């Protein structure tokens, strides 16, 4: 029997409830009483529980059914979770919310290998849109089609997009398909001359085909909805809805523009937050944050405290800055996306204002330099000028960490913020980029935990799916989604299930200075929960990938539910 108590047991509980109603035994007030669940609390004192009471957005009781009786009789609502599995609210420790929302409303044509299937996909997508909406997406590439290799024309799509303007850049991003409606809205016809540096492609009669190149694409930029405030605001809202449906109760936004921050603040004011957002602004806009200082809404759903810095590129593109050349190339990668001269004054201000620094480093050279610069800024500014001694500065990605730098993370109390899903994708090419020797300290999760470090897990969505099941699976299996892995993947660097759970709950809370108020299921903490139909602690890893989200709860409010609650 998989479930902790049988249906019969639940009926017994309710009869107990009724009898309590008729006695004078004290009933404790709660808003919600949750029973018939396997609760993994991530609380060291009490790792599992069966029942939870929630009052005023916080946990008021966590424990056994037996001890829950006074809460059971005093609760306004009773939820029978019929054996579901309850976890502290999952946090995606590195995400880009606007991009997550944008992804839900534009079509990806990457990887489709025929012209016919590409057109079918566009037709299907546009059918889901209301009249007048733009058909947006990207990624088509005729070279990869097996049936017919030609550029798309407006005649391919006009039939099913008569009242929907369409703009679909090719995979390279320097040409695009537009339809007749888009040409009409842009005021372009056969008499419009080509702009310098661009071309409206024409057929043998001089008519526009709808394939537009380079600077000719600029004619549409002004009429595309994609950069208006309402469009971006809606992306933020849709991103939160998509996240809540995945089971996320918080995301850390690793670089939200000031404009997005303002729009998210509006959504918060209007009561449209489907989860908590902990925000870092890009260093280019850090001055605004430095002037105003950290910001946190009373309800804790909106918090602005970080500065996102970029140092190097990525491993796949050989842009990660390495100490020694790539194994498959003479180069060392590059760094300097932010220079030391740009960075140091910002670090100084971050110390003075109590702002958290979150720096993108992927290669070991970028990582070592960044640790040097962190330490240098701390040495330069006397601590009496610091807003707090509790810095918790972070390294985002931190994919290649030689042992000596792993120890420096400990010595400097710097937090690694890593993406399990990146590892199981990157490990397909990391052996050729790095060679076997450096793989001994690439994506070194368990070695970091062995040193006592806490790792924040994140997805980097929309770069990755942004799915806690995938992050959890990758962290415990260190294998492709089909279960396979190659030599050099170091399966011993995978983490235990309990630690994977901490990486998605308590440790990201720590990474946002919130571990005292959320991140585990304990009395007094915010009632954030992620409820699934699958036991992440015992079920087969492949089953975890199939798990269904049943319920997402943020501060006691339901932000997603699969089935209605009784
Ligand atoms: Zn990112």
Alpha carbon of 180 to ligand 1 centroid (Å)? 37
pLDDT tens-digit profile of 188-199? 999 999 998 899
Q: How far is the CA of 286 from the centre of ligand 1 (A)?
A: 17
pLDDT average, residue stretch 320-349: 96
Q: Is residue 127 part of a domain?
A: no
Residues 379 and 322 in one domain: yes
Residues 419 and 495 in one domain: yes
Alpha-carbon distances of 226 from 102, 103, 134, 299, 552, rounded to whole Å: 9, 12, 9, 31, 29
Q: From the DSSP assignment, how many helices (H) and strands (E) are in the chain?
A: 20, 23
Distance 368 CA to ligand 1 centre (A): 20
Q: Which of 170, 188, 223 is the last residue of a domain?
A: 223
CATH number at residue 249: 3.20.20.140
What's the pLDDT at 563?
Answer: 77
pLDDT at 464: 87
State whether 513 and 419 are in the same domain: yes
Q: Is residue 316 part of a domain?
A: yes
Ligand 1 centroid distance, CA of 244 (Å): 19
Number of domain units in the chain: 3
Position 565 scores a pLDDT of 56
Ligand 1 center from residue 464 Cα (angstroms): 10
CATH number at residue 174: 3.10.310.70
Q: Is there a single domain that holds both residue 293 and residue 365?
A: yes
Residue 140 lies in a domain: yes
pLDDT in tens, 149-185: 999 999 999 999 999 999 999 887 889 999 999 999 9
Distance 393 CA to ligand 1 centre (A): 16
> For residue 504, how far is its CA from the centre of ligand 1 (angstroms)?
16
Whether residue 109 is contained in a domain is answered as no
As a whole number of angstroms, the distance between CA 359 and CA 369 comes to 11
Please say if the pLDDT value at position 7 is more than 80: no
Q: CATH number, domain at 67?
A: 2.30.40.10
User: Is residue 110 in some structural domain?
Assistant: no
Domain endpoint, select from 206, 223, 240: 223
pLDDT score recorded for residue 1: 27
Distance of CA 324 to the CA centre of its chain: 31
Residue 6: the pLDDT is: 32
The answer to whether residues 496 and 536 belong to one domain is no
Distance 70 CA to ligand 1 centre (A): 46
Integer Cα distance of 43 and 350 in angstroms: 32
- How remote is the CA of residue 96 from the centroid of ligand 1, in Å? 6
* Pairing relationship of beta strands 529-532 and 456-457 according to DSSP bridges: unpaired
Does one domain contain both 511 and 554? Answer: no
What pLDDT, on the 0 to 100 scale, is given for residue 3? Answer: 32
Does 222 have pLDDT greater than 90? no
Q: Is residue 96 part of a domain?
A: no
Query: Do 24 and 65 have their domain in common?
Result: yes
Residue 282 alpha carbon to ligand 1 centre in Å: 11
Do 418 and 312 share a structural domain?
yes
Q: Which residue did the predictor score with more confidence, 9 or 79?
A: 79
| pLDDT for res 23 | 45
Across-strand partners of 95? 253, 461
Supply the pLDDT for residue 227: 79
Q: Both 366 and 512 in a single domain?
A: yes
pLDDT in tens, 235-280: 999 999 999 999 999 999 999 999 999 999 999 999 999 999 999 9
Instruction: Give the domain-ending residue among 193, 223, 253.
Output: 223
pLDDT of amino acid 435: 97
CA 94–ligand 1 middle distance (angstroms): 6
Determine the average pLDDT of the residues in 321-341.
95
**Rounded distance, CA 84 to CA 2, Å?**
10
CA 438 to ligand 1 centroid distance, Å: 23
The pLDDT mean for the chain works out to: 93
Kindly state the percentage of the chain with pLDDT values over 70. Answer: 95
Ligand 1 centroid – CA 360 distance (Å): 8
Lowest mean pLDDT among 14-28, 317-331, 379-393: 14-28
pLDDT at 4 over 70: no
Give me the pLDDT at residue 8, please: 31
* Residue 14 belongs to domain spanning: 1-89+519-566
505 closest CA partner among 156, 62, 44 = 44
403 domain-assigned: yes
Strands of 166-232, DSSP E: 166-169, 175-178, 198-202, 208-214
Distance 556 CA to ligand 1 centre (A): 29
**Same-domain check for residues 210 and 253:** no
Residue 299 confidence (pLDDT) above 70: yes
Residue 233 counted as domain residue:
yes
Cα 273 to middle of ligand 1, angstroms: 21
334 and 247 fall within a common domain: yes
The predicted pLDDT at position 206 comes to 95
Q: How far is the CA of 561 from the centre of ligand 1 (A)?
A: 28
Lowest model confidence (mean pLDDT) among 219-233, 343-357, 484-498: 219-233
Q: How far is the CA of 104 from the centre of ligand 1 (A)?
A: 18
Given a contact cutoff of 8 angstroms between Cβ atoms, the answer to whether 326 and 333 are in contact is yes
pLDDT digits (tens, 9 = 90+) for 84-129: 999 999 999 999 999 999 888 889 898 899 999 999 999 999 999 9
Could you tell me which residues come within 8 angstroms of residue 187 by beta carbon, excluding any fewer than 6 positions away?
none
Report strand pairing: 75-88 vs 58-63: unpaired
Distance in Å, CA 254 to ligand 1 centroid: 6
Q: Does residue 492 share a domain with residue 430?
A: yes
């Amino acid at each position: 029997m998989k479930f902790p108590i049988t249906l019969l047991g639940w009926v017994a509980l309710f009869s107990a409830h009724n009898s309590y109603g008729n006695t004078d035994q004290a009933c404790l007030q709660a808003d919600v009483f949750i029973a018939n669940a396997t609760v993994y609390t991530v609380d060291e004192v009490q790792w599992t529980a069966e029942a939870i009471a929630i009052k005023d957005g916080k946990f008021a009781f966590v424990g056994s059914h037996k001890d829950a009786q006074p809460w059971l009789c005093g609760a306004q609502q009773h939820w029978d979770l019929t054996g579901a599995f309850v976890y502290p609210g999952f946090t995606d420790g590195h995400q880009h919310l606007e991009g997550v929302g944008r992804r839900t409303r534009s079509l990806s044509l990457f990887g489709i290998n025929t012209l016919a299937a590409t057109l079918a996909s566009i037709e299907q997508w546009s059918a889901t849109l209301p009249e007048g909406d733009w058909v947006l997406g990207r990624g088509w590439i005729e070279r990869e089609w097996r049936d017919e290799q030609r550029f798309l024309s407006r005649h391919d799509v006009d039939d099913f997009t008569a009242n929907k303007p369409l703009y679909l850049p090719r995979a390279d991003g320097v040409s695009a398909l537009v339809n007749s409606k888009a040409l009409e809205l842009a005021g372009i016809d056969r008499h419009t001359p080509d702009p310098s540096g661009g071309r409206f492609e024409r057929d043998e009669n001089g008519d526009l085909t709808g394939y537009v190149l380079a600077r000719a694409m600029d004619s549409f930029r002004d009429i595309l909805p994609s950069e208006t405030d309402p469009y971006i605001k809606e992306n933020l809202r849709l991103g939160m809805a998509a996240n809540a449906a995945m089971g996320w109760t918080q995301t850390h936004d690793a670089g939200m523009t000031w404009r997005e921050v303002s729009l998210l603040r509006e959504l918060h004011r209007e009561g449209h937050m489907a989860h908590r957002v902990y925000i870092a602004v890009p260093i280019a806009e850090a001055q605004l944050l430095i002037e105003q200082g950290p910001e946190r809404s009373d309800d804790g759903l909106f918090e602005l405290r970080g500065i996102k810095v970029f140092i190097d590129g990525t491993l796949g593109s050989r842009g990660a800055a390495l100490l020694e050349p790539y194994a498959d190339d003479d180069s060392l990668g590059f760094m300097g996306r932010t220079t030391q001269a740009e960075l140091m004054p910002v670090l100084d201000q971050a110390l003075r204002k109590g702002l958290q620094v979150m720096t993108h480093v992927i290669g070991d050279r970028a990582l070592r330099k960044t640790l040097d610069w962190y330490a240098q800024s701390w040495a330069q500014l006397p601590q009496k000028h610091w807003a707090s001694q509790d810095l918790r500065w972070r390294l985002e990605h931190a994919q290649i960490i030689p042992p000596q730098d792993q120890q420096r993370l400990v010595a400097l109390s710097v937090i690694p913020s890593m993406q399990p899903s990146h590892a199981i994708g990157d490990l397909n090419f990391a052996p050729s980029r790095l060679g076997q020797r450096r793989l001994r300290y690439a994506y070194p999760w368990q070695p970091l935990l062995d040193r006592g470090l806490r790792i924040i897990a994140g997805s980097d969505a929309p770069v990755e799916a942004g799915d806690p099941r995938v992050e959890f699976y990758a962290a415990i299996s260190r294998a492709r989604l089909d279960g396979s892995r190659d030599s050099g993947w170091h399966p011993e660097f995978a983490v235990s299930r309990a630690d994977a759970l901490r990486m998605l709950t308590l440790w990201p809370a720590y990474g946002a200075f919130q571990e005292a108020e959320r991140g585990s299921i304990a009395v007094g903490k915010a009632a954030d929960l992620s409820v699934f139909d699958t036991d992440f602690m015992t079920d087969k890893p492949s089953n975890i990938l199939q798990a269904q989200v049943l319920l997402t709860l943020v501060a006691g409010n339901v932000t997603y539910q699969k089935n209605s609650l009784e």
